[in-house]
Structure 1
Amino acid sequence: MVQHQYPVSQTGVRSPSRPPKDMEDFRSRKRRRAASDPSRHTSERFAWPEPVLPANLVHDPEFWFDDGSVVLTALNVGFRVYRRILEEHSPFFKDMFRIPQPAHALTVEGCPVVVLVDTPQQLRHMLRVLFPTSGNLRFGKQEAPITMDAVAAVVRLSHKYQMDQLLAQALSALMEFYTDDFHEWIKRDRKTTMTAMPIDAITAISLAHLTSTPSILPLAYFHACCAGSQVLRGCVRDGAWAEPLTYVDLIRVMDGRPSFVHALNKMVCRIFKPETSAACLDSRRCLRVMTARACDMSDYLEMAYGAMFALGVSLCSFAAVHGEVELTTGMRLCDKCRSMLKERELEEKKELWNDIPSIFDMEEPEGWQVE
């Protein structure tokens, strides 16, 4: 016979611990214990704290309209603006304003308050597009280019608050700078709505992922690789916070840099190889000029890298070099050879352009290839 072992109580008396005969009663008691246990169901008992105004709330000097109908707060800065404009551009704000407010809702000078978690700098960039002030920001023809700080803030907030029209304008400035149009890219001294430094490409990469805009990525990776070791420290936005690359993007940039340099070296060497046009008018003379120029390859590589690491990165044009008198020989290429070199340069740049997505180990955006 098997002898059951029972637990011993503090008094030393054995007492069997048998399950209750009525299992439903057992489950009922478990439910009652769970409901009475203060450590359980904390998510059901938890209530988010009511938003409060900062004690040191200050009026934004640029966006505090005396006849404004709503106050947006970011940290300790208040922006008194027009509810109607926000509703017109943002379904997010429109739905928010439709919710009935309790009697104790926050107000400032009689205006309802919306507490935002954005920074004052970000919010100010967005409001400059929405409201007419002396510092109004526009995505179009203007005297000074728009900064990446402004474009990034507008993209992020318009995406967050569902301002589709504003998002499209901001993205168009970003897509113009990090273009997917080869012929725009090779233009000398091309003008763009936005200006950016190579390190700003970190933000461009982040915005491309956020908005599902892959056409931005190839040139953004290219620009980022031109920033050197700065990519390890991240990009400072609005002088306040550093935006890093994700691990995957950092690997793409760091591995892509030597690959791009290698491709660029080969491109320049092929452009200046001593080979005359089939229709050359004086092949001996032109071959001497080309051979002499091939000896100056280091100068042409310096030209290429000088353009590559400059602001507004784009490849330089060697077209002017093709037409110059070669200093060593004192001779100039014939018209046929000059035309051939210009065409050769164009074809080599096309090949480099087509290879950029694979250099940075990314999926090629639709329509990237150029014939």
Structure 2
Amino acid sequence: MATPDSSTALDGVQPDPDMWFEDGNVIVIAQQTAFRFHRGALSRHSEAFRGLFSVPQPTSSGSVQTMDGCPVIHVTDTAYDFRHLLRAVYDGASVFSGVEPMEFGALASIVRMGHKYQVDAILDEALRRLNTVYTSDFATWDENEGGSTALITVRVADGIEAVNLFLLVGRKDMLVAAFYMCGLLDVDHLIDGIPRADGTLERLSTYDLQRCLTAQMALVKHDARILAELLHTDAPADCTCPSKDFRRTLLDARHADVVSALHDILDPLPIHSTYGVETIDDLEAEGLCDTCGEALRAHHTALRRDLWGRLPAFFRLLE
């Protein structure tokens, strides 16, 4: 790669240090960054690009703008997004097959650009990776609790961008986890928005903010329900506690502790919370048998799984 001759560069436009091929035959300018590449490389992947390249973009004087002898096309995308598009097209194998997980911001860029320019191959692969975190399957979600996986690194702050991204591409099945993860954000961030990787501010629409806040209130109520029901189960048939009275006394005492602490422990993330698991661990440390502990864990998982199935209704995704 080489940089363009400064005498032919446009005012204020800087070449991208990575995506500037000296033998390229078209230049795309995103924001104030110029990308020089081979139009055939993108045309073979995208009908949208074939159409874009076939229509000259005249200047106000009527002439076609050129730079270093190449036609210039201006796009409204951010330089960050366009760079990731080119990297995915040119270096697809190495971009997607690296041993390190990909950052959410990079995958989000590829999804936006793959959707806009109809580059289905990279769009599908980026969504596949995102789907390992933003999933409608409880068991898949529970394995990582909405956190990073071997394929993707996510932040709590990515929730808002994820909601907007999956609405854009029509992936309602991925919206459940994205909305739920927005519950980790405080109200100020939900209202004001969060900058994405390129600095663009991502905000929820008024409607999406409304359904997110409404769902949070419903989830707090269901957190109380889970905590209330967690310790009210019959002993398993193979219980080895010293006696039924010992087991019941132990669970009742712990239930009283939970009720007295409700104002401190209730939150809008009852599926994500580890409070129930910690409570069961404490009970086992106090003498509850392993069999009862496993039965309580299974009960806790069943309560969380049931609530997971209610999330689409809470977030009005069934409308």
- TM score, norm. by length of structure 2: 0.82
Query: Deviation at 1:101?
Result: 8.7
Kindly indicate whether residue 141 of structure 2 is the aligned counterpart of residue 182 of structure 1: no
Kindly indicate whether residue 71 of structure 2 is the aligned counterpart of residue 116 of structure 1: no
Query: Deviation at 1:326?
Result: 5.0
Query: Over the residues paired in the alignment, what is the CA RMSD in angstroms?
Result: 3.2
Give per-residue Cα distances to partners, 1:149-199, cap 9 Å, x unaligned.
Answer: 222221111111111111111222222221111101112576422333333
> What one-letter code is carried by the residue in structure 2 that aligns with 1:181?
D
Kindly indicate whether residue 47 of structure 2 is the aligned counterpart of residue 91 of structure 1: yes
Choose from 319, 335, 338 the match for 2:293.
338
Contact 1:128 1:137 in 2 (8 A): no
- Counterpart for residue 306 of structure 2: 351
In structure 1, stretches of 5+ residues that fail to align are 1-52, 365-371
- Counterpart for residue 138 of structure 1: 95
Instruction: Map 1:55-94 to 2 at 5 A.
Output: 55-94=11-50
CA gap of 1:67–1:300, structure 2 versus 1, over 3 A, is: farther
Instruction: Map 1:309-320 to 2 at 5 A.
Output: 314-316=272-274, 318=276
Query: Deviation at 1:336?
Result: 3.1
Structure-1 separation of matches of 2:148 and 2:158: 17
Instruction: Map 1:1-371 to 2 at 5 A.
Output: 54-99=10-55, 104-132=63-91, 138-140=95-97, 142-143=99-100, 145-188=101-144, 191-192=148-149, 193-229=151-187, 230-273=189-232, 275-281=234-240, 282-297=243-258, 308=269, 314-316=272-274, 318=276, 322=280, 330-331=286-287, 333-363=288-318
> What one-letter code is carried by the residue in structure 2 that aligns with 1:212?
G
- Counterpart for residue 40 of structure 1: none
> What one-letter code is carried by the residue in structure 2 that aligns with 1:353?
W
Structure-2 separation of matches of 1:302 and 1:267: 15
The alignment partner of 2:247 has SS state of helix
> What one-letter code is carried by the residue in structure 1 that aligns with 2:136?
D
CA gap of 1:302–1:81, structure 2 versus 1, over 3 A, is: farther
The alignment partner of 1:159 has SS state of helix
Query: Deviation at 1:355?
Result: 1.1
CA gap of 1:164–1:195, structure 2 versus 1, over 3 A, is: same
Contact 1:322 1:341 in 2 (8 A): yes
Contact 1:201 1:221 in 2 (8 A): yes
Contact 1:188 1:317 in 2 (8 A): no
CA gap of 1:235–1:325, structure 2 versus 1, over 3 A, is: closer
> What one-letter code is carried by the residue in structure 2 that aligns with 1:217?
L
CA gap of 1:141–1:259, structure 2 versus 1, over 3 A, is: farther
> What one-letter code is carried by the residue in structure 1 that aligns with 2:155?
M
Structure-1 separation of matches of 2:43 and 2:297: 54
The alignment partner of 2:152 has SS state of coil
Structure-2 separation of matches of 1:111 and 1:171: 34
Contact 2:172 2:317 in 1 (8 A): no
The alignment partner of 1:67 has SS state of coil
In structure 2, stretches of 5+ residues that fail to align are 1-8
> What one-letter code is carried by the residue in structure 2 that aligns with 1:87?
S
- Counterpart for residue 20 of structure 1: none
Give per-residue Cα distances to partners, 1:86-124, cap 9 Å, x unaligned.
Answer: 112111112333457999432222222222121111211
Identity of aligned pairs, percent?
Answer: 28
The alignment partner of 1:227 has SS state of coil
CA gap of 1:191–1:220, structure 2 versus 1, over 3 A, is: closer
CA gap of 1:343–1:326, structure 2 versus 1, over 3 A, is: closer
CA gap of 1:101–1:339, structure 2 versus 1, over 3 A, is: closer
The alignment partner of 1:60 has SS state of strand
Contact 1:175 1:215 in 2 (8 A): no
Mark the structure with the bigger radius of gyration.
Answer: 1
Contact 2:220 2:266 in 1 (8 A): no
Structure-2 separation of matches of 1:337 and 1:260: 27
Contact 1:293 1:326 in 2 (8 A): no
Structure-1 separation of matches of 2:57 and 2:309: 56
Query: Deviation at 1:299?
Result: 7.3
Give per-residue Cα distances to partners, 1:298-326, cap 9 Å, x unaligned.
Answer: 779978859x49xxx94438557535565
Aligned length: 302
